Amino acid sequence: MARNITPREKDYSQWYLDVIRAGELADYAPVRGCMVIRPNGYSLWEVIQRHFDEAFKDTGHVNAYFPLLIPSSFLEKEADHVEGFAPECAVVTHAGGEELEEPLVVRPTSETVIGHMYSKWVQSWRDLPILINQWCNVMRWEKRPRLFLRTSEFLWQEGHTAHAAKEEAVEETLRMLEVYREVMETRLALPVVTGEKSEAERFPGADNTYTCEAMMTDMKALQAGTSHFLGQNFAKAFDITFQNKDGEREYAWTTSWGVSTRLIGAIIMTHSDKDGLVIPPEVAPVKAVIMPISDDEKALSETFEPEAMELRDRLNALLGKRSVKVDTQYHMRPGDRFFYHLQRGVPLRIELGKKEYESQSVRLVRRDTGEKTDVSWDRAPETVRQLLESIQKNLYTRALEFRKANTHHVKSYEEFKNVLETRGGFITAHFAGTREDEKEIKSETTATIRCYPMNGQSRGTCFYTGKDDAPLAVFAKAY
């Protein structure tokens, strides 16, 4: 156990912050609730971005950029939207040395200003669909900030699409939910339950909200991404209309969907351990680090290091530019050098010491299991590739099994409260209660409906109201 990391079972929140600090992922900024994403955290975000961006482009989306500042009157055009977001807004009242005529809010999300622009761009059915995504910063003032999970400013992507037909917009909403699930599971190694949110948990202004819910190692749920079917609500508020094939004017149907730097929090709380950060190879900025180790400075510079550089180049040719680094922090003791990269979550350590050098081999040490493999220089690249695949698979499987082991089905409210108290985790239960029932359950237990799962065809008796033919819901305490 690392001395600079609080044991998880002692204080989960402190463990989380210790992992971030030891991995140099982020810092609190001088402005309350805001964060600085340090290079180790940002490079992780860059890889996450790349995977999602590629998936968005593969499904026909293009990127654009809309303004940071939104006239406050825009927010007020959609009643639910302003109610949901106005209390969290940061407001610009002065600019260029003068007081503004109308205050401007720093975007908490961009449905309104994008709706305004779409109304100008869309005239005919031929202008639809519009499939635009934006990568940007947004601001939602936080009273209880937490690095990556809840900060006043965060980075995200927000997709905003407009369609001629309702079915197309619904299809898009579900397509992007599926894109999210796919990238989260295959790249971030985050198993997620996808499903529909209850009315109470919907995005302000949406007709339906779909979500990806992941289980953290403290068994709490984390909402990892959401996809919203906005119906014609924003089209009506911002007059996004088009002339259909019959020459009639119609309102468009819109969607929006987003994932954020919160995903870094999800990776930390899913994969990391008592020693600190663990990053799945598919999103690791540095997949492996090669360590020349010797007391003999001459041997280091003349034989070990050149050999390490040569291996690095061969590995990078296989795994991608800058995937593998050579550690040359020779002023540190080997153990400290190991620890340095271990706490930064590097999936694989490659040791090249005297013994290895003499046998023309390297020692590979897995971050996830600590398992060691000796392999010849010739076979090293292929073995490294295989081990990285194996680590990726192991992290996903471990997380999935953890979720399965900590998901329980209940049939009564007594059982619900008992399981939540004694075992925690996800609780599946048939539920046909009202919004008020849900509120009641939340206030008594702090658990909320995370979603009605997509594949939940199962119907049964409501655990709370006793009503028949209730759909299946997943409940949990959540971040």
Pick between residue 38 and residue 366 the one whose CB is nearest to a copy of itself. 38
* Minimum distance of a copy of itself from residue 96's CB (angstroms): 3
* Minimum distance of a copy of itself from residue 461's CB (angstroms): 43
* Minimum distance of a copy of itself from residue 9's CB (angstroms): 31
Pick between residue 149 and residue 192 the one whose CB is nearest to a copy of itself. 149
Q: Determine if the peptide bond prior to 108 is cis (ω within 30°).
A: no
Is the four-CA dihedral 13, 15, 19, 24 of positive or negative sign? Answer: positive
Q: What does the alpha-carbon distance between residue 274 and residue 367 come to, in Å, rounded to a whole number?
A: 12
Which residues have C-beta within 8 Å of that of residue 458, sequence separation ≥ 6? 430, 471, 472
Pick between residue 29 and residue 454 the one whose CB is nearest to a copy of itself. 29
Pick between residue 145 and residue 456 the one whose CB is nearest to a copy of itself. 145
Q: What does the alpha-carbon distance between residue 361 and residue 354 come to, in Å, rounded to a whole number?
A: 10
* Minimum distance of a copy of itself from residue 467's CB (angstroms): 39
Pick between residue 57 and residue 459 the one whose CB is nearest to a copy of itself. 57
Burial of 452 (0-12, 13-18, 19+ CB in 10 A): middle
Q: How far is CA 184 from CA 223, 261, 400, in A?
A: 12, 13, 12
Q: What does the alpha-carbon distance between residue 283 and residue 332 come to, in Å, rounded to a whole number?
A: 28
Pick between residue 71 and residue 460 the one whose CB is nearest to a copy of itself. 71
Q: Which residues bind a copy of itself (CB under 8 A)?
A: 27, 29-31, 34-39, 41-43, 45-46, 57, 62-71, 74, 86-97, 103-104, 106, 113, 116-117, 120, 126, 132, 136-137, 139, 141-143, 152-153, 155, 322, 331
* Minimum distance of a copy of itself from residue 298's CB (angstroms): 22
* Minimum distance of a copy of itself from residue 153's CB (angstroms): 5
Q: How many other C-beta atoms can be found within 10 angstroms of the C-beta atom of residue 263? A: 27
Q: How many other C-beta atoms can be found within 10 angstroms of the C-beta atom of residue 145? A: 17
Q: What are the phi and psi torsion angles at 285 (to 5°)? A: -60, -40
Pick between residue 4 and residue 376 the one whose CB is nearest to a copy of itself. 4
* Minimum distance of a copy of itself from residue 30's CB (angstroms): 6
Residue whose entry in the numeric block shows the structure tokens 């709706």: 115
